[in-house]
Amino acid sequence: MARLFYAAVIVLLIGCTSLAAADDAQRFHAEFQPFLSKHCVACHRGDKPKGNLDLEKLSLDLADDKARGQWTAVVERLDAGDMPPADKPRPDAQEVKKLTAWLSPRIATAETAARAAQGRVVVRRLNRSEYENTVRDLLGVQVNLKDQLPLDSAADGFDNAGAAHHTSSFLMEKYLEAADVALNMAISNRPKPPALISKRYSIKDGHPVKNTTEDVYRFLDDGEVVCFCSSDWHNVSASTFYPQDGGNYLFRISASAIQSNDKPVTFRVTASGTRLTGLSGLVSYFDAPPGAPKVFEFTRHMEPRTTISLLPYGLAGANTVKQTGSAKWEGPGLAVQYIEIEGPLNESWPPLSHKDLLGQLAQKTFKIYNFSDRVEVVSEQPLVDAERILKKFTRRAFRRTVTTEDIAPYLTIVQTKLDGGYTFEQALRAALKGVLIAPNFLFLREKPGRLDDFALASRLSYFLWSTMPDEELFALAEQQKLHQPEVLREQVERLLASPKAQAFTANFVGQWLGLREIDATEPSHILYPEFDHLLKVSMIRETELFFDELLKNDLSITNFVASDFTMLNGRLAKHYGIPDVVGWEFKKTTLPPESHRGGVLTMASVLKVTANGTTTSPVLRGAWVLDRILGQPSPPPPDNVSAIDPDIRGATTIREQLAKHRSTESCGVCHRQIDPPGFALESFDCIGGWRDWYRVTGNGAPVTVDGRRMAYHKGKSVDPSDVMPGGEKFDNVDQFKQLLLKDKSQLARALTNKLVTYATGRAPQPTDRPAVDAIVQKIAAKDYGLRSLVNEIVQSEIFQVK
């Protein structure tokens, strides 16, 4: 079997890649076959090969992307000394060097050939977020299209990677439905705006204040109501506001804190019709000040027949308040004077989305069932007007200059529909819908080689905005100025200064650090009764604001590992045990040395998404650190190795359970890399709280907090110490972070790889290593600034070449 395998290797290296001469085959047979037979094949073959690498079945066609990637991994592991395992006979270093030196140039040549044919990045489709944002900016409408589309797959850790994007008939049907929804919102078929609502509401007239039998509200003059409880069933609403028409509405909420010891009372506002999970369904949290009321103003797009609700945070429960009664209750409360609402807001009619798309075309009445005053645009020169509209629309939709040939198919649609008896608007809508499902719209069409200015504009805007280029980028692309280094640098700075750059923070950080998984598990209410929605939202916000702070001020990326500050609000500060921070609003806060915080590793958001609802796993967290922070992902476990069952009763610690697991030869190799970072983070529980001992459901001492007996018990002590693969010891997370900081270039390389993957749609390949190293070297001279890193990536060839 081994002889057949190596014969196949030689044939494939010679025949499929045309890279090996006849003497190469002889050399492989004489020098490399014995090496692999002695050191590799015994473990990497059979039904359950180690590392899921079966050398007897692995194709050696280096023209194949998958096979080339696997052989690249083999070379990397050999070069790093990871293979063979430390407990196996060590091969002579010169033998290893000979094999990797022979394979590496052949892999590089095959990679170069593949890039010449198709480019470094395969064609990629707009993901759901990019699609929704692009339609928003193309048509000028705010509409939820993302949830109408299937979930995006991910590759290399990101859902904007071309390799993960597939197209199906089902997906195209969903695009057609989404296009209809978007066009219906952009094009107005009303003869005049719906009546503007401008009304002041009192929550005493809404649910549940009006209907409750519990004495938890105090009623003051002029409709003012004081809410004394935070029980979910007392989520007060402006339920008498129930608009018939969707659109943007302006809200003004007048509120204040009473009996609060001069501290603000935090309350949340949610929109009905969406389940409250993470940030979904949440308008925002606000801080009602003590003393004079404050008016909180925001604009929100509301669907028809929806409303908003308010719930104060951190007050007593309804069952407690009603025993005393609202009149005699002395605890803090939220006083709501009124809720004022205006809308739907229309600055002009027809709305701007309609006029931007269709211009000043006249409208006439076209009655349909149950809509007697419905109007449509009409034209005396339908093809002339259609050509003008489509030329403007396709230029923006296709994100480049368009020609007569580009719009000809869509004009044909218009003509065909008109010939079939359709009205002008119906015919034009069909053509516009055709544009919205065209490959030129749905895909980022980049040609192999250096990107032209239009492709560069799109790559830049989807990198930093997750949406299409704006007019300034289009203009620079048309003038062929965008590729100029100084112009490109100016545009990076402009895009980062825009509110649209929040999409970069949310989408990159959400995937790089895994924050999108914040709702994947719900912490046990028995073990973690203090966990609540405000804490969860604050976790996410801290991490995003921290990233923004580094990006805005070009602070060193080493802050992601260890920092002397973070972004805190009152809820998170309480969770971290840091005093003198109150309310919902976040501020940059210097961390006390004894806090053990600083950097993303010790942020509650990261610690939550790397744990389940009951237990923590050094394996999961260690693998996360290796992949996300060090850029050295561990291989998947062998199929024949079962996971460790958590012991939440406290009979054994996770260290004791892993000790037996690590004694298995097939497990020990990887666990020597994975476990140390994981054990360093064991001082943090499932929701990111500091701990010296484990919370368990049995076999432990009783626990009392604020005079209340907890449902959990005190388990065994936490031991966060371990030894790094290189022999360095650490006693706690603070020492561990200092060990990581010894190799700043590796931290920078790891983050560069992640950003390049997100920016271009494909992870850097081995042949990209010099380009990545060049970026790292440049930012090293700038103290590894995050903003400098983004700029250097955009200036690099790896970004500007497909």
Q: pLDDT digit string (tens) for 454-494?
A: 999 999 999 999 999 999 999 999 999 999 999 999 999 99
Show Cβ contacts of residue 561 under 8 Å, excluding neighbours closer than 6 positions.
599, 600, 601, 629, 737, 740, 741, 747
- Mean pLDDT rounded to a whole number for the chain: 88
Helix (H, G, I), strand (E, B) or coil at 425: helix
The full length of the chain comes to 802
Residue 354 lies in a domain: no
Average of pLDDT values for 206-210?
89
Residue 510 lies in a domain: no
Closest CA to 321 of 310, 312, 336, 333: 333
Q: Which residues are registered as beta bridge partners of 125?
A: 443
Residue 522 lies in a domain: yes
Q: Are the CB atoms for 482 and 450 separated by under 8 Å?
A: no
The reply to whether 167 and 304 lie within a common domain is no
Please give the full DSSP string across 353-379, using - where no structure is assigned: HHHHHHTT--EEE--BTTBTT-EEE--
Residue 258 lies in a domain: yes
The reply to whether 750 and 733 lie within a common domain is no
The reply to whether 727 and 768 lie within a common domain is no
Of 186, 221, 243, the domain-final residue? 186
pLDDT (0 to 100) of residue 5: 40
pLDDT (0 to 100) of residue 9: 41
The reply to whether 694 and 548 lie within a common domain is yes
pLDDT (0 to 100) of residue 640: 56
The reply to whether 682 and 565 lie within a common domain is yes
Kindly state the percentage of the chain with pLDDT values over 90. 67
Of 118, 148, 174, the domain-final residue? 118
The reply to whether 218 and 338 lie within a common domain is yes
Q: DSSP secondary-structure letter at 349?
A: S
Residue 359 lies in a domain: no
The reply to whether 751 and 698 lie within a common domain is no
Q: Are the CB atoms for 704 and 728 separated by under 8 Å?
A: no
- Using DSSP bridges, classify how beta strands 236-237 and 587-590 pair: parallel, antiparallel or unpaired: unpaired
The reply to whether 663 and 538 lie within a common domain is yes
The reply to whether 557 and 603 lie within a common domain is yes
pLDDT (0 to 100) of residue 16: 40
pLDDT (0 to 100) of residue 106: 72
pLDDT digits (tens, 9 = 90+) for 250-304: 999 999 999 999 999 999 999 987 778 777 889 999 999 999 999 999 999 888 8
pLDDT (0 to 100) of residue 688: 97
Helix (H, G, I), strand (E, B) or coil at 225: strand
The reply to whether 87 and 107 lie within a common domain is yes
Rounded Cα distance between 665 and 662, Å, is 7
pLDDT digits (tens, 9 = 90+) for 59-118: 666 666 677 767 777 777 776 666 666 667 767 777 777 777 777 777 777 666 666 656
Residue 247 lies in a domain: yes
pLDDT digits (tens, 9 = 90+) for 556-592: 999 999 999 999 999 999 999 999 999 999 999 999 9
The reply to whether 652 and 537 lie within a common domain is yes
Please give the full DSSP string across 712-750, using - where no structure is assigned: EEEEEEP---EE-TTS-EESSHHHHHHHHTT-HHHHHHH
- pLDDT category, 35, cuts 50, 70, 90? low
If one compares 147 and 474, the residue with the highest pLDDT of the two is 474
Q: Containing domain of residue 125, as a range?
A: 119-186
| Total of domains in the chain | 6
The reply to whether 206 and 293 lie within a common domain is yes
If one compares 709 and 661, the residue with the highest pLDDT of the two is 709
If one compares 24 and 324, the residue with the highest pLDDT of the two is 324
Q: Which of 147-151, 365-369, 705-709 bottoms out in mean pLDDT, i.e. has the lowest?
A: 365-369
Show Cβ contacts of residue 186 under 8 Å, excluding neighbours closer than 6 positions.
139, 140, 141, 353, 354, 357
Model-level pTM? 0.86
Of 85, 103, 118, the domain-final residue? 118
Residue 290 lies in a domain: yes
Please give the full DSSP string across 42-79, using - where no structure is assigned: TTS-SSS-GGG--TTT----TTSHHHHHHHHHHHHHHH
Lookup: tokens for 308: 């908003």
Rounded Cα distance between 96 and 36, Å, is 10
Residue 627 lies in a domain: yes
